[in-house]
Amino acid sequence: MVFLCDWTTLTSATLNNLGINVEINNPLIEWSDSCLTGIARIDAQHQGLVSGLNSLGYLALKQKFNAKKFIQELDCLIRCFSEHFAEEEKVMLNFEYEEDREHRDRHSEILKKLFNLRVKVLITSDFKSNYLLKSLKIFKLFLEDDIKVTKDISANSKQSSIKAE
């Protein structure tokens, strides 16, 4: 996954400080086959989360920030993350993933950050896109880690089934 965006409203210096690659007319996060985990349901959910993060990114960058629309999209993304985490936690349990507890804790942390972002948007009338972009970058980094963990689980489950044969 690559963090990209149409950054017409921000300066190059700001973007460089955020560690973001400037590419015009591209999504914030670009999906590629390297993100595939081998678990179709999880892959579809990951793609949906990438799409949701991209939608939020575009809303954050609009010249005239629409908090109501942003909150609607964020609420949808929170539901998607919650459903994905529940599904992934079942997979971790089924395959007796060793780092299950730590990863579930990260799920809780991400949901808290999403809810905190929601509260901040609700109480702040003059919202700055830099804060939103930093938040989205955190979620993007988590998603990359999440994909890595799921690939691990998938690889270990295949090895277990090979050993059992």
Min mean pLDDT across 38-47, 49-58, 121-130 is at 121-130
To which residue do tokens 């400037």 refer?
Answer: 22
User: Where do the structural domains in the chain lie, given as residue ranges?
Assistant: 2-164
What is the arithmetic mean of pLDDT over 52-66?
Answer: 77
What is the arithmetic mean of pLDDT over 153-160?
Answer: 70
Task: Supply the pTM of this predicted model.
Answer: 0.74
pLDDT-above-70 percentage for the chain: 73
- Report the distance separating Cα 45 and Cα 48, nearest Å: 5
Position with higher pLDDT, 95 vs 28: 95
Which whole-number Å values give the CA distances from 67 to 58, 75, 116, 118, in the listed order?
Answer: 12, 12, 14, 10
pLDDT at 10: 39
As a whole number, the mean pLDDT across the chain is 75
Superfamily of segment(s) 2-164: Hemerythrin-like (1.20.120.50)
Local structure of residue 5 (DSSP, 8 states): B
Banded pLDDT at 94 (limits 50, 70, 90):
confident
- Structural element, H or E, at residue 91: helix 67-94
Banded pLDDT at 138 (limits 50, 70, 90):
confident
Which whole-number Å values give the CA distances from 44 to 10, 35, 53, 86, 136, in the listed order?
Answer: 32, 11, 14, 14, 20
| Tokens linked to 83 | 């459903």
* Strand locations in 35-148 (E): none
**Phi, psi for 24 (deg, rounded to 5):** -75, 145
Whether the predicted pLDDT of 55 surpasses 70: yes
